[in-house]
C-alpha cells in the first residue's frame, strides 16, 4: 500500500478524532456518562475510526507499531457487537488518556 492509498484513510481517522474533540468542547465526563446523545455521538466516531483502521493492511500496522491499530479496531467491535456491555468509563478514559497521543501520531504520519 503506497502513501496515496493510505493517506485518505488516515485523514478520515483524523477527522473522526477532531469530531470527538469538538464534541468534548460541550461535554463533561458527567454528561458523557449520563447523556445518551453525547455518548452515542462519540461512539459513532469510534466506530468510524475502527472501520477505517480495518481498511489498512497488516503490513501498515507493522510499519507503524506506535499506533494501537488492533485496539482501535477492537474498540469498534466492542461498541458494535457488545454495545450494552461497554463501560462508558472506559470509553471516557480512552478519549482522555489515549486519543491525544493517537491524534499526534496520525498527524505525524500525514506530514
The total domain count for the chain is 1
- Give the domain range for residue 87: 3-110
- Cα distances (angstroms) measured from residue 85 to each of 7, 76, 79: 33, 13, 8
The predicted-structure confidence for 26-73, as pLDDT tens digits, reads as follows 888 988 889 888 889 999 999 999 999 999 999 999 999 999 999 999
Ranges of H-type helices in the chain: 3-24, 29-34, 36-53, 58-63, 69-81, 88-93, 99-110
- 109's grid cell: 504520519
Q: Tens digit of pLDDT for each residue in 73-94?
A: 999 999 999 877 888 999 999 9
pTM beyond 0.95: the answer is no
What is the rounded CA–CA span in Å between residue 34 and residue 50?
A: 24
Q: Interior CA angle at 49 toward 47 and 55, to 5°?
A: 110
Chain position carrying cell 450494552: 84
Cell numbers placing 84? 450494552
| Dist CA 59 CA 61 (whole Å) | 5
Amino acid at each position: 500500500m503506497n502513501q496515496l492509498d493510505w493517506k485518505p484513510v488516515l485523514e478520515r481517522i483524523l477527522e473522526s478524532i477532531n469530531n470527538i474533540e469538538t464534541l468534548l468542547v460541550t461535554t463533561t465526563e458527567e454528561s458523557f456518562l449520563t447523556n445518551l446523545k453525547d455518548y452515542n455521538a462519540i461512539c459513532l466516531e469510534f466506530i468510524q475510526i475502527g472501520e477505517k483502521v480495518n481498511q489498512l493492511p497488516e503490513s501498515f500496522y507493522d510499519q507503524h507499531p506506535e499506533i494501537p491499530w488492533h485496539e482501535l479496531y477492537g474498540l469498534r467491535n466492542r461498541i458494535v457487537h457488545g454495545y450494552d456491555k461497554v463501560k462508558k468509563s472506559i470509553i471516557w478514559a480512552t478519549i482522555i488518556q489515549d486519543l491525544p497521543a493517537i491524534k499526534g501520531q496520525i498527524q505525524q504520519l500525514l506530514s
